[in-house]
Amino acid sequence: MAKQWHQLEKLDHKALKKLQAEREKQKIVAQKAEEQKRVMIVGGIILAVILIVIAFGLMISKRSKELAYKEEREKLYISSVAEKVGNPEFRKIGLWEPVKDNMQFSEDCSFRTNEADSVTVQLQLNNLVKALGNTEMTVLKPILAEKENKVEKEVAQLTRGEVTVTIDLDGRDMLEIVAAGVTISGKSGLFKVLYNQEKDYGEVVVKNGLVEVKSSSDAPVKVSGFYKVVFSSKKVKQPVQASVIQYDWR
């Protein structure tokens, strides 16, 4: 009987040790699982932080590019007064004011001169439009490409008087002078546009280069150096030879 009790005790002891070992093993497994869970949580947090930092960086970069693009685009609208003689005046909206030396503008701007005055405007592509005495003209805001920072067209409207136009290499085929509904496109060179509003009489005189003159009712007329065309609000005539030395090209 004592022997049987001894055997039972041994069995109980073995079972207890086995149970303790299993519990210890389960504890270790649970600790490892908990540790892995903590590592995954920390890793997830670090990954989330990294992703947030990257997203924020991309957003800042995109914003910076947008601001740089916008700033560059705004600069393309700027024209400036290259030279003035006498007391020419300008206005954007409102009253006429004296033209300031080296003034810049980025909106539509009108200029007028008296007999002894002149004012030269340098456009974005370095084309020059010089208003001589007794002239009124409006330099319009440049037309830009819709999806890139690039000037597509420059326009000046001549209400009355005389302008001398110099086309720069960068501004070839980009500048239009509009007078009495007639559009004069400067392809290259040096030319004049004169318009008498009271008589509805105008001339385009080309010293050198090439100009295209067109109205809504006529086919375009090309005018080259030492030629001129006469126009009105209704008609553009064919080119004829011109005595360019009769005109003031200063």
Domain boundaries, the chain: 1-75, 79-246
Class of domain 79-246: mainly beta
Inter-residue contact 212 to 222 (CB < 8 Å) = yes
Q: What are phi and psi of 134, to 5 degrees?
A: 55, 50
pLDDT, one tens digit for every residue, the chain (250 residues)? 555 555 545 555 666 666 667 777 777 777 777 788 887 887 788 878 787 877 777 777 777 777 788 999 999 999 999 999 999 999 998 899 999 999 999 999 999 999 999 999 999 999 999 999 999 999 999 999 998 999 999 999 999 999 999 999 999 999 999 999 999 999 999 999 999 999 999 999 999 999 999 998 888 999 999 999 999 987 999 999 999 999 999 8
- Residue 17: its pLDDT value, please? 67
What residues contact residue 220 under an 8 Å CB cut-off, 6+ apart?
212, 213, 214
pLDDT for res 16: 60
Give the chain's radius of gyration (CA, Å).
41
Q: What is the dihedral of CA 174, 178, 182, 187, to 10 degrees?
A: -20
Instruction: Note the pTM of the prediction, 2 decimals.
Output: 0.78
Looking at residue 174, its pLDDT comes to 97
| Both structure tokens of 57 | 């960086």
Taking alpha carbons only, the member of 234, 211, 235 closest to residue 223 is 211
86 Cβ neighbours under 8 A, 6+ residues apart: 113, 114, 116, 117, 118
Exposed/middle/buried for residue 229 (C-beta within 10 Å: 0-12, 13-18, 19+)? buried
In this prediction, residue 24 carries a pLDDT of 75
**pLDDT number for residue 1:** 56
Among 170, 130, 174, which residue's Cα sits nearest to residue 154? Answer: 174
d(CA 113, CA 94): 17
